[in-house]
Protein backbone atom coordinates (compact mmCIF):
# COMPACT_ATOMS: atom_id res chain seq x y z
CA UNK A 1 0.00 0.00 0.00
CA UNK A 2 1.00 3.62 -0.56
CA UNK A 3 0.68 5.90 2.44
CA UNK A 4 -1.18 9.09 1.54
CA UNK A 5 -2.28 12.20 3.36
CA UNK A 6 -4.91 14.78 2.69
CA UNK A 7 -7.87 16.64 4.14
CA UNK A 8 -11.15 14.87 4.85
CA UNK A 9 -14.62 15.42 6.24
CA UNK A 10 -15.12 12.90 9.06
CA UNK A 11 -18.90 13.29 9.10
CA UNK A 12 -21.48 15.38 7.26
CA UNK A 13 -21.00 19.13 7.68
CA UNK A 14 -17.80 18.67 9.71
CA UNK A 15 -14.89 20.99 8.84
CA UNK A 16 -12.28 19.31 6.67
CA UNK A 17 -9.20 18.29 8.66
CA UNK A 18 -5.89 16.45 8.11
CA UNK A 19 -6.34 12.75 7.33
CA UNK A 20 -3.95 9.88 6.64
CA UNK A 21 -4.99 6.86 4.60
CA UNK A 22 -3.72 4.16 2.23
CA UNK A 23 -3.81 4.05 -1.56
CA UNK A 24 -3.36 0.75 -3.36
CA UNK A 25 0.06 0.06 -4.78
CA UNK A 26 0.33 0.34 -8.55
CA UNK A 27 -1.01 -2.65 -10.41
CA UNK A 28 0.28 -3.43 -13.89
CA UNK A 29 -1.97 -0.88 -15.64
CA UNK A 30 -1.96 1.75 -12.90
CA UNK A 31 -0.38 5.19 -12.85
CA UNK A 32 0.79 6.77 -9.58
CA UNK A 33 0.37 10.54 -9.64
CA UNK A 34 1.97 13.07 -7.32
CA UNK A 35 -0.86 15.58 -7.03
CA UNK A 36 0.20 19.20 -7.32
CA UNK A 37 -3.15 20.99 -7.57
CA UNK A 38 -6.83 20.26 -7.02
CA UNK A 39 -9.74 22.53 -7.84
CA UNK A 40 -12.66 23.09 -5.50
CA UNK A 41 -16.00 22.30 -7.13
CA UNK A 42 -19.35 23.27 -5.60
CA UNK A 43 -20.25 19.59 -5.75
CA UNK A 44 -17.43 18.95 -3.27
CA UNK A 45 -19.35 21.07 -0.77
CA UNK A 46 -22.70 19.43 -1.50
CA UNK A 47 -21.23 15.99 -0.96
CA UNK A 48 -19.05 16.81 2.08
CA UNK A 49 -22.18 18.24 3.71
CA UNK A 50 -24.33 15.30 2.51
CA UNK A 51 -26.74 17.73 0.84
CA UNK A 52 -27.45 15.25 -1.96
CA UNK A 53 -27.70 12.24 0.36
CA UNK A 54 -25.73 8.99 0.35
CA UNK A 55 -22.34 10.46 1.21
CA UNK A 56 -19.56 8.09 2.31
CA UNK A 57 -17.40 9.15 5.26
CA UNK A 58 -14.60 9.81 5.91
CA UNK A 59 -14.53 11.73 2.63
CA UNK A 60 -11.52 13.19 0.83
CA UNK A 61 -13.12 15.44 -1.81
CA UNK A 62 -11.63 16.65 -5.07
CA UNK A 63 -12.09 15.67 -8.72
CA UNK A 64 -10.20 18.44 -10.53
CA UNK A 65 -6.75 16.93 -10.15
CA UNK A 66 -3.49 17.81 -11.88
CA UNK A 67 -0.03 16.50 -11.14
CA UNK A 68 2.97 14.56 -12.39
CA UNK A 69 3.39 10.82 -12.93
CA UNK A 70 5.78 9.36 -10.34
CA UNK A 71 5.42 5.63 -11.11
CA UNK A 72 3.81 3.39 -13.73
CA UNK A 73 2.77 -0.25 -13.72
CA UNK A 74 4.51 -2.85 -15.90
CA UNK A 75 1.87 -2.73 -18.65
CA UNK A 76 1.35 1.02 -18.82
CA UNK A 77 1.91 2.31 -22.37
CA UNK A 78 0.14 5.68 -22.36
CA UNK A 79 2.22 7.52 -19.77
CA UNK A 80 5.72 7.71 -18.38
CA UNK A 81 7.30 9.11 -15.24
CA UNK A 82 7.38 12.91 -15.41
CA UNK A 83 4.29 13.36 -17.60
CA UNK A 84 1.84 16.16 -16.75
CA UNK A 85 -1.53 14.50 -16.18
CA UNK A 86 -5.00 15.04 -14.82
CA UNK A 87 -7.81 13.06 -13.24
CA UNK A 88 -11.42 14.14 -13.52
CA UNK A 89 -14.73 13.11 -12.01
CA UNK A 90 -14.36 9.34 -12.27
CA UNK A 91 -11.54 6.80 -12.07
CA UNK A 92 -13.15 3.66 -13.52
CA UNK A 93 -16.29 2.16 -15.03
CA UNK A 94 -17.51 -1.28 -16.08
CA UNK A 95 -15.90 -0.96 -19.56
CA UNK A 96 -18.37 -3.50 -20.96
CA UNK A 97 -21.72 -1.74 -21.34
CA UNK A 98 -22.75 0.03 -24.54
CA UNK A 99 -22.06 3.46 -23.05
CA UNK A 100 -18.55 2.61 -21.89
CA UNK A 101 -17.76 1.10 -25.27
CA UNK A 102 -19.08 4.25 -26.93
CA UNK A 103 -16.78 6.49 -24.87
CA UNK A 104 -19.60 7.69 -22.63
CA UNK A 105 -18.23 6.23 -19.41
CA UNK A 106 -20.02 8.89 -17.35
CA UNK A 107 -23.27 7.08 -18.22
CA UNK A 108 -21.96 3.60 -17.36
CA UNK A 109 -24.98 1.30 -16.91
CA UNK A 110 -23.63 -0.26 -13.72
CA UNK A 111 -22.21 3.02 -12.41
CA UNK A 112 -18.90 4.78 -12.90
CA UNK A 113 -16.47 4.85 -9.98
CA UNK A 114 -16.49 8.47 -8.86
CA UNK A 115 -13.08 9.90 -8.00
CA UNK A 116 -14.29 10.44 -4.44
CA UNK A 117 -17.42 9.64 -2.45
CA UNK A 118 -17.77 6.51 -4.57
CA UNK A 119 -16.76 2.88 -4.73
CA UNK A 120 -14.22 1.05 -6.83
CA UNK A 121 -15.66 -1.42 -9.32
CA UNK A 122 -15.60 -4.08 -6.60
CA UNK A 123 -18.49 -2.05 -5.09
CA UNK A 124 -16.76 -2.22 -1.71
CA UNK A 125 -13.61 -0.10 -1.65
CA UNK A 126 -14.30 3.62 -1.10
CA UNK A 127 -12.61 6.15 -3.36
CA UNK A 128 -10.69 9.16 -2.05
CA UNK A 129 -10.17 12.31 -4.07
CA UNK A 130 -7.65 14.99 -4.85
CA UNK A 131 -7.37 16.97 -1.62
CA UNK A 132 -4.37 14.69 -1.06
CA UNK A 133 -0.79 14.20 -2.11
CA UNK A 134 -1.03 11.02 -4.23
CA UNK A 135 -3.56 9.07 -6.27
CA UNK A 136 -3.41 5.75 -8.12
CA UNK A 137 -5.54 5.44 -11.28
CA UNK A 138 -5.79 2.99 -14.19
CA UNK A 139 -4.04 4.47 -17.23
CA UNK A 140 -7.29 4.40 -19.23
CA UNK A 141 -8.85 6.97 -16.89
CA UNK A 142 -5.91 9.38 -16.76
CA UNK A 143 -5.78 12.50 -18.97
CA UNK A 144 -2.78 14.17 -20.58
CA UNK A 145 -2.39 17.90 -19.83
CA UNK A 146 -1.06 19.95 -22.79
CA UNK A 147 2.45 21.26 -22.13
CA UNK A 148 1.48 24.90 -22.56
CA UNK A 149 -1.19 24.85 -19.85
CA UNK A 150 -0.11 25.58 -16.25
CA UNK A 151 -1.19 22.79 -13.92
CA UNK A 152 -2.84 25.11 -11.38
CA UNK A 153 -5.14 26.95 -13.80
CA UNK A 154 -5.76 23.76 -15.80
CA UNK A 155 -7.12 21.83 -12.81
CA UNK A 156 -10.73 23.13 -13.06
CA UNK A 157 -10.85 22.01 -16.69
CA UNK A 158 -11.22 18.44 -15.38
CA UNK A 159 -14.76 19.22 -14.19
CA UNK A 160 -15.87 22.77 -15.00
CA UNK A 161 -14.18 22.68 -18.40
CA UNK A 162 -15.65 19.40 -19.61
CA UNK A 163 -19.05 20.20 -18.07
CA UNK A 164 -19.34 23.13 -20.48
CA UNK A 165 -17.37 21.79 -23.42
CA UNK A 166 -19.49 18.66 -23.78
CA UNK A 167 -22.88 20.35 -24.35
CA UNK A 168 -21.35 23.12 -26.45
CA UNK A 169 -19.77 20.49 -28.70
CA UNK A 170 -22.78 18.16 -28.72
CA UNK A 171 -25.23 20.93 -29.65
CA UNK A 172 -22.74 22.26 -32.19
CA UNK A 173 -21.98 25.73 -30.90
CA UNK A 174 -19.89 27.51 -33.51
CA UNK A 175 -19.92 30.16 -36.22
CA UNK A 176 -23.42 31.38 -36.99
CA UNK A 177 -24.84 30.10 -33.68
CA UNK A 178 -26.10 32.38 -30.91
CA UNK A 179 -25.29 30.93 -27.49
CA UNK A 180 -26.37 32.24 -24.09
CA UNK A 181 -24.69 31.28 -20.83
CA UNK A 182 -26.86 31.68 -17.72
CA UNK A 183 -24.64 32.59 -14.77
CA UNK A 184 -21.04 33.76 -14.73
CA UNK A 185 -19.49 31.62 -12.01
CA UNK A 186 -17.09 28.71 -11.93
CA UNK A 187 -18.99 26.90 -14.68
CA UNK A 188 -20.29 29.89 -16.59
CA UNK A 189 -16.95 31.60 -17.08
CA UNK A 190 -15.60 28.43 -18.69
CA UNK A 191 -18.64 28.33 -20.96
CA UNK A 192 -17.96 31.85 -22.18
CA UNK A 193 -14.32 31.07 -22.96
CA UNK A 194 -15.05 27.81 -24.75
CA UNK A 195 -18.09 29.06 -26.71
CA UNK A 196 -16.09 32.09 -27.84
CA UNK A 197 -13.20 29.88 -28.97
CA UNK A 198 -15.67 27.68 -30.88
CA UNK A 199 -16.70 30.75 -32.84
CA UNK A 200 -20.22 31.26 -31.48
CA UNK A 201 -21.81 34.62 -30.72
CA UNK A 202 -21.88 34.58 -26.92
CA UNK A 203 -24.28 36.31 -24.55
CA UNK A 204 -24.07 36.20 -20.75
CA UNK A 205 -27.29 36.33 -18.76
CA UNK A 206 -26.53 37.32 -15.18
CA UNK A 207 -28.68 38.58 -12.33
CA UNK A 208 -27.02 41.99 -12.16
CA UNK A 209 -24.60 44.12 -14.16
CA UNK A 210 -21.68 43.74 -11.75
CA UNK A 211 -19.86 41.13 -13.85
CA UNK A 212 -20.36 42.75 -17.24
CA UNK A 213 -16.74 43.86 -17.63
CA UNK A 214 -15.52 40.39 -16.71
CA UNK A 215 -17.88 38.77 -19.19
CA UNK A 216 -16.59 40.93 -22.03
CA UNK A 217 -12.98 40.25 -20.99
CA UNK A 218 -13.64 36.51 -21.08
CA UNK A 219 -15.05 36.66 -24.59
CA UNK A 220 -18.74 37.50 -24.35
CA UNK A 221 -20.18 39.59 -27.16
CA UNK A 222 -23.22 40.71 -25.15
CA UNK A 223 -24.32 40.94 -21.53
CA UNK A 224 -27.78 41.33 -20.04
CA UNK A 225 -28.98 41.60 -16.46
CA UNK A 226 -31.93 39.28 -15.90
CA UNK A 227 -33.17 41.45 -13.03
CA UNK A 228 -34.11 44.11 -15.60
CA UNK A 229 -37.69 43.56 -16.74
CA UNK A 230 -36.94 44.50 -20.34
CA UNK A 231 -34.34 41.73 -20.81
CA UNK A 232 -36.77 38.88 -21.46
CA UNK A 233 -38.96 40.84 -23.88
CA UNK A 234 -35.92 42.23 -25.70
CA UNK A 235 -34.27 38.81 -26.14
CA UNK A 236 -37.36 36.72 -26.88
CA UNK A 237 -36.63 34.14 -29.59
CA UNK A 238 -32.93 35.07 -29.81
CA UNK A 239 -30.82 31.98 -29.09
CA UNK A 240 -30.02 28.67 -30.71
CA UNK A 241 -28.57 27.30 -27.48
CA UNK A 242 -28.77 28.27 -23.83
CA UNK A 243 -26.55 26.63 -21.21
CA UNK A 244 -27.95 26.98 -17.69
CA UNK A 245 -25.10 26.76 -15.17
CA UNK A 246 -27.08 28.05 -12.18
CA UNK A 247 -27.83 25.83 -9.19
CA UNK A 248 -30.44 28.18 -7.73
CA UNK A 249 -34.12 27.91 -8.68
CA UNK A 250 -34.96 29.93 -11.79
CA UNK A 251 -38.09 30.32 -13.90
CA UNK A 252 -37.04 27.95 -16.68
CA UNK A 253 -40.18 28.82 -18.65
CA UNK A 254 -38.98 32.42 -18.93
CA UNK A 255 -35.60 31.32 -20.25
CA UNK A 256 -37.15 28.87 -22.72
CA UNK A 257 -38.94 31.87 -24.25
CA UNK A 258 -35.52 33.18 -25.29
CA UNK A 259 -34.92 30.24 -27.63
CA UNK A 260 -35.45 30.31 -31.36
CA UNK A 261 -37.52 27.64 -33.08
CA UNK A 262 -35.71 24.30 -32.63
CA UNK A 263 -33.49 25.84 -29.95
CA UNK A 264 -32.27 23.94 -26.90
CA UNK A 265 -31.70 24.82 -23.27
CA UNK A 266 -29.22 22.51 -21.57
CA UNK A 267 -29.09 22.22 -17.80
CA UNK A 268 -25.71 21.61 -16.12
CA UNK A 269 -26.43 23.27 -12.75
CA UNK A 270 -28.39 21.23 -10.20
CA UNK A 271 -31.00 23.10 -8.12
CA UNK A 272 -31.96 21.42 -4.87
CA UNK A 273 -35.66 21.82 -5.65
CA UNK A 274 -37.71 20.53 -8.59
CA UNK A 275 -38.37 23.14 -11.28
CA UNK A 276 -41.84 23.27 -12.88
CA UNK A 277 -42.04 23.38 -16.68
CA UNK A 278 -45.09 24.30 -18.75
CA UNK A 279 -45.76 22.26 -21.89
CA UNK A 280 -46.43 25.39 -23.93
CA UNK A 281 -42.89 26.60 -23.15
CA UNK A 282 -41.64 23.70 -25.28
CA UNK A 283 -44.26 23.06 -27.94
CA UNK A 284 -44.49 26.70 -28.96
CA UNK A 285 -41.33 26.54 -31.05
CA UNK A 286 -40.37 22.84 -31.06
CA UNK A 287 -37.90 23.63 -28.31
CA UNK A 288 -35.85 21.16 -26.30
CA UNK A 289 -34.97 21.07 -22.62
CA UNK A 290 -31.99 18.81 -22.01
CA UNK A 291 -29.27 17.99 -19.52
CA UNK A 292 -25.59 17.15 -19.73
CA UNK A 293 -23.19 15.43 -17.34
CA UNK A 294 -19.42 16.00 -17.66
CA UNK A 295 -17.97 13.88 -20.51
CA UNK A 296 -16.28 10.59 -21.29
CA UNK A 297 -12.53 10.07 -21.23
CA UNK A 298 -12.04 10.62 -24.98
CA UNK A 299 -14.13 13.79 -24.98
CA UNK A 300 -12.35 15.10 -21.89
CA UNK A 301 -9.02 14.62 -23.64
CA UNK A 302 -10.48 16.35 -26.70
CA UNK A 303 -11.48 19.26 -24.46
CA UNK A 304 -8.00 19.49 -22.94
CA UNK A 305 -6.39 19.47 -26.37
CA UNK A 306 -8.83 22.16 -27.53
CA UNK A 307 -8.00 24.27 -24.49
CA UNK A 308 -4.30 23.75 -25.15
CA UNK A 309 -4.73 24.91 -28.77
CA UNK A 310 -6.63 28.02 -27.67
CA UNK A 311 -4.69 28.69 -24.44
CA UNK A 312 -7.83 28.33 -22.33
CA UNK A 313 -7.57 27.84 -18.58
CA UNK A 314 -9.73 28.74 -15.63
CA UNK A 315 -9.52 32.05 -13.79
CA UNK A 316 -8.39 30.88 -10.36
CA UNK A 317 -7.55 31.90 -6.84
CA UNK A 318 -4.77 29.65 -5.51
CA UNK A 319 -5.03 28.78 -1.81
CA UNK A 320 -3.14 26.69 0.75
CA UNK A 321 -5.05 23.60 1.82
CA UNK A 322 -5.36 25.03 5.34
CA UNK A 323 -7.79 27.61 3.89
CA UNK A 324 -10.15 24.99 2.39
CA UNK A 325 -12.94 25.50 4.93
CA UNK A 326 -12.86 29.26 4.41
CA UNK A 327 -12.95 28.67 0.67
CA UNK A 328 -16.07 26.51 1.04
CA UNK A 329 -17.89 29.36 2.76
CA UNK A 330 -16.79 31.79 0.07
CA UNK A 331 -17.96 29.47 -2.73
CA UNK A 332 -21.41 29.30 -1.13
CA UNK A 333 -21.45 33.12 -1.09
CA UNK A 334 -20.20 33.28 -4.73
CA UNK A 335 -17.16 35.13 -3.43
CA UNK A 336 -14.57 33.83 -5.91
CA UNK A 337 -13.64 34.74 -9.45
CA UNK A 338 -13.92 32.12 -10.57
CA UNK A 339 -12.52 28.90 -9.17
CA UNK A 340 -10.50 28.03 -6.08
CA UNK A 341 -7.54 25.74 -6.59
CA UNK A 342 -5.66 24.10 -3.72
CA UNK A 343 -1.85 24.12 -3.82
CA UNK A 344 -1.14 20.60 -2.58
CA UNK A 345 2.48 21.56 -1.85
CA UNK A 346 1.08 23.28 1.26
CA UNK A 347 -0.10 19.92 2.65
CA UNK A 348 2.18 19.31 5.62
Alpha-carbon distance 212 to 227, whole Å?
14
Give the pTM. 0.96
Sign of CA dihedral 7, 11, 15, 17: negative
Tens-digit pLDDT profile for residues 131-163 = 999 999 999 999 999 999 999 999 999 999 999
What are the domain boundaries of the chain?
2-159+314-346, 161-291
The closest of 326, 293, 331, 332 to 107, measured between CA atoms, is 293
CATH fold, domain 2-159+314-346, is Quinone Oxidoreductase; Chain A, domain 1 (3.90.180)
> What pLDDT is stored for residue 271 in this prediction?
83
The closest of 145, 139, 195 to 26, measured between CA atoms, is 139
The superfamily CATH assigns to domain 161-291 is NAD(P)-binding Rossmann-like Domain (3.40.50.720)
Beta strands 65-72 and 84-87, pairing class: antiparallel
Tens-digit pLDDT profile for residues 80-139 = 999 999 999 999 999 999 999 999 999 999 999 999 999 999 999 999 999 999 999 999
Tens-digit pLDDT profile for residues 251-308 = 999 999 999 999 999 999 988 788 999 999 999 999 999 999 999 999 999 999 999 9
Question: Using the 8-state DSSP alphabet, how is residue 132 labeled?
Answer: B
Alpha-carbon distance 271 to 264, whole Å?
19
Alpha-carbon distance 130 to 35, whole Å?
7
Model confidence at 242, pLDDT cuts 50, 70, 90, reads very high
Amino acid sequence: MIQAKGYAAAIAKAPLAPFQFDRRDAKEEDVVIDIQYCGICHSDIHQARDEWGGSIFPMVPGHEITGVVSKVGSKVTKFKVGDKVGVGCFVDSCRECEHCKAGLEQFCETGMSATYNGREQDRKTPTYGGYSNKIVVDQNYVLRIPDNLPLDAAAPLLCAGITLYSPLAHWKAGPGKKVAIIGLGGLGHMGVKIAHALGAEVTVLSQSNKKEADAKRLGADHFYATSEKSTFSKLRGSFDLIINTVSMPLDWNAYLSLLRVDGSMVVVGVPEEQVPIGAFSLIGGRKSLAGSLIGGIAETQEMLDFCGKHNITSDIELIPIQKVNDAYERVVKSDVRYRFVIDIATLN
